[in-house]
Amino acid sequence: MTKENSDLFEIIEMLPLDIQNVLSQFEREGYDYQTCSKYLSILESKGYTFEYSLDSTPFNLTETK
């Protein structure tokens, strides 16, 4: 599995440290709809995006750059 064709949530250890730190903080806060929206905005400003379901489960983390 490569970074280009995978859900980067599955290979967090391969991501840049600043992204790993954001994801760690996100995980500590827990997943609710507002938190997903907040972290999506942060990650988009760093060149990443993800989707999340109605139950606030994040998935499909990808690099947008």
**What is the full per-residue pLDDT of the chain (65 aa) written as tens digits?**
444 558 999 999 999 999 999 999 999 998 899 999 999 999 999 999 999 999 999 999 999 97
Two structure tokens written together for 6 = 């995978």
pTM over 0.75: yes
- pLDDT value, residue 65: 77
pLDDT confidence of residue 39: 96
H/E element, 51: strand 48-52
Residue ranges covered by each domain of the chain: 7-63
